């Protein structure tokens, strides 16, 4: 049997007792050896990992366990796995899902599985109970606070560029800051209609607009800014536009004119080129790496290696043959049963709203850390002026607080690019995967549309005499890895296991849950980059089959 090992040491332990990750791993390996368990993978959480990194690795571990059907996790002691209380509940669910699963805690000499007797389970149960109480309570509190804030007309999170937060905790409001004139100028320039977003970003940078880290505002960010109703005095929350109390920077007319300009730019059809082969510059020869050249013969396109380099490939591929080889790969990226897809999407949406709550809370916490570091920096400066502390002490404290401030600022910058917005794009990508073949075959799909569809899905295509090989783009690679697992699991009649009694999603299915973990922790920002353009482009492709 295989096992996963989980190691975690706090920095305090490391400093004070010299107990290291290596030592812990060694201990766990010896134990596994004695029990006849083969170690499949070791997950180590370093002393300096942030809360977010820990979560990410933890979810990766569970996803790995489910994906590779590994049913044993080894861990030094209960506290290692439950330092973050939410993780205790997650681990408990994982164990409850399947009677063959277990977690071995060495120090306590305790094996947790579904059949662990109640009295042995006491310590564990208490930790899980506390964890559930804590997380339920926390998100409820956050939701309550946000609702109240929204009802009063104030945005319950960090405002966009151009606004700052003022006021004490509980009475915070948002007012335009020194970046606001640049935001107004961005709208005005774009509304004139002759600028690309990239060019606009350059101009604003030369005029002085900076992002939170003092750099040029990126194209995707600028796109988000130009689409944000916040600037004309509304707020977008969970997909709804709500009335708001803050002072607008621009008029609604200006906003609307920018929206229609952006829409027009996107729907500008590329000129239809009759003699453009679909696969031009898209496929290379597996043997020599040269491009496949396409020729029109009696109304059909044929592709062969361009033979710029020495190469033995002589096969000629008809365009239709390439297409026939690609269609089955589209199917691999989507659930066989449309009902399963609907339920997955529903679960993802629920997951998204949890994420929004979580992010808002996290932002608030980081903001508090940042404020306190700034206050302390001010305080020690005063103390130094007043001669209350010597310069060595000042230098040491200055370094410490500056580091805290910098870390908090970094964290804040990361969080202001909220991952949950990428959920939306992730969900649309599911739609695209499901309909890809239909879109491609649609009579409305011009060569340009087909080419766009292909480059959304594949990053690389190569052929030899008898086979085509594909590499997926990051987002579709993710689907291509996971959907076969989902399809194996939900072969009819297993699909019933997906539904609870009221037709809602039953999350006790471990494969589905592993997939949701993976989706949540997947780096969508990196895979998609520009969310607005991506979503719009995909929706446009989908509209071809409406």
Binding site for Zn ion (CB under 5 A): 285, 287-288, 290, 305, 311, 313
The minimum distance between CB 311 and Zn ion, in angstroms, equals: 3
Q: Which is nearer to Zn ion, 195 or 288 (CB)?
A: 288
| H-only helix segments in 236-299 | 252-267
How does DSSP assign 106-166, residue by residue? Answer: TTTTEEEETT--GGGGHHHHHHHHHHHHHHHHHHHHHHHHHHHHHHTT--SSPPPTTEEEE
Closer Cβ to Zn ion, 135 or 313, answer by number? 313
Q: How far is the CB of 279 from Zn ion (least distance, A)?
A: 15
CB of 464 to Zn ion, least distance (A): 9
The whole-angstrom separation of Cα 137 and Cα 133 is 6
Q: Measured from the CB of residue 312, what is the shortest distance to Zn ion in angstroms?
A: 8
Q: Where are the alpha helices (DSSP H) in 386-503?
A: 391-415, 419-441, 447-457, 474-489
Nearest CB to Zn ion, comparing residues 42 and 291: 291
**Of 153 and 290, CB closest to Zn ion:** 290
**Minimum distance, C-beta of residue 302 to Zn ion, in the bound complex (Å):** 15
75 within 8 A of 103, measured Cβ to Cβ = yes
Q: Which is nearer to Zn ion, 185 or 307 (CB)?
A: 307
Which residues, including other chains, have CB under 8 Å from residue 121's CB and lie 6 or more apart? 112
To Zn ion, the closest distance from the beta carbon of 290 in angstroms equals 5
Nearer to Zn ion, 464 or 477 (CB): 464
The minimum distance between CB 295 and Zn ion, in angstroms, equals 15
Closest by CA to 346, choosing from 196, 499, 194, 201, is 499
**Distance separating alpha carbons of residues 65 and 246, to the nearest angstrom:** 48
Quick check: 201 and 218 in contact, CB under 8 A? yes
Q: Which of 511, 438, 514, 432 is nearest to 475 (CA)?
A: 432
Furthest-apart CA atoms within the chain: distance in Å: 92
Q: 310 vs 492, which CB is nearer to Zn ion?
A: 310
Report the C-alpha gap between 155 and 56 in whole angstroms.
Answer: 28
């Amino acid at each position: 049997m295989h096992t996963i090992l989980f190691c975690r040491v706090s920095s305090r332990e490391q400093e004070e007792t010299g107990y290291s990750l290596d030592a812990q791993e060694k201990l766990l390996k010896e134990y596994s050896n004695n029990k006849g368990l083969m170690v499949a993978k070791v997950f180590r959480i370093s002393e300096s990992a942030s809360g977010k990194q820990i979560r990410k690795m933890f979810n990766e571990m569970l996803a790995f366990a489910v994906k590779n059907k590994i049913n044993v996790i080894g861990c030094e002691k209960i506290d290692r796995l439950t330092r973050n209380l939410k993780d205790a509940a997650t681990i408990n669910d994982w164990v409850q899902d399947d009677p063959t699963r277990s977690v071995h805690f060495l120090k306590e000499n305790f094996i947790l599985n579904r059949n662990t007797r109640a009295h042995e389970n006491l310590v564990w149960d208490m930790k899980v109970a506390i964890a559930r109480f804590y997380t339920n309570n926390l998100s409820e509190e956050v939701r309550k606070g946000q609702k109240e804030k929204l009802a009063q007309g104030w945005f319950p999170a960090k405002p966009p560029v151009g606004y700052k937060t003022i006021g004490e905790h509980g009475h915070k409001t948002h007012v335009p800051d020194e970046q606001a004139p640049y935001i107004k100028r961005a709208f005005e320039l774009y509304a004139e209609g002759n600028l690309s977003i990239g060019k606009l970003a350059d101009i604003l940078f030369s005029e002085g607009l900076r992002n939170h880290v003092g750099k040029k505002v990126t194209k995707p960010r600028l796109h988000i800014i130009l689409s944000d109703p916040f600037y004309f005095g509304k707020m977008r929350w969970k997909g709804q536009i709500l009335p708001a109390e803050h002072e607008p920077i621009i008029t609604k007319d200006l906003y609307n004119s920018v929206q229609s300009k952006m829409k027009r730019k996107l729907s500008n059809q590329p000129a239809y080129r009759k003699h453009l082969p679909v696969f031009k510059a898209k496929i290379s020869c597996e043997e020599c790496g040269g491009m496949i050249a396409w020729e029109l013969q009696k109304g059909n396109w044929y592709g062969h290696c361009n033979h710029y380099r020495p190469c033995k490939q002589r096969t000629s591929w008809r365009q239709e043959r390439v297409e026939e080889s690609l269609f089955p790969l589209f199917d691999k990226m989507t659930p066989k049963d449309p009902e399963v897809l609907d339920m997955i999407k529903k679960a993802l949406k629920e997951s998204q709203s949890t994420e929004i709550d979580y992010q808002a809370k996290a932002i608030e916490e980081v903001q508090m850390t940042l404020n306190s570091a700034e206050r302390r920096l001010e305080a020690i400066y005063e103390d130094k002026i007043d001669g209350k502390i010597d310069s060595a002490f000042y230098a040491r404290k200055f370094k410490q607080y500056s580091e805290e401030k910098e870390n908090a600022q970094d964290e804040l910058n990361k969080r202001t690019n909220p991952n949950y917005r990428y959920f939306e794009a992730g969900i649309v990508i599911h739609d695209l995967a499901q309909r890809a073949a239909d879109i491609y075959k649609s009579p409305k799909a011009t060569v340009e549309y087909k080419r766009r569809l292909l480059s959304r899905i594949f990053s690389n295509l190569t052929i030899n005499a008898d086979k085509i090989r594909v590499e997926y783009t990051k987002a579709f690679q993710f689907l291509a890895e996971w959907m076969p697992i989902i399809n194996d699991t939900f072969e009819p009649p297993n699909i019933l296991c997906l539904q609870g009694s009221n037709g809602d999603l039953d999350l006790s299915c471990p494969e589905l849950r592993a997939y949701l973990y993976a989706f949540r922790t997947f780096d969508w920002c990196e895979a998609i980059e520009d969310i607005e353009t991506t979503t719009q482009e995909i929706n446009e492709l989908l509209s071809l089959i409406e």
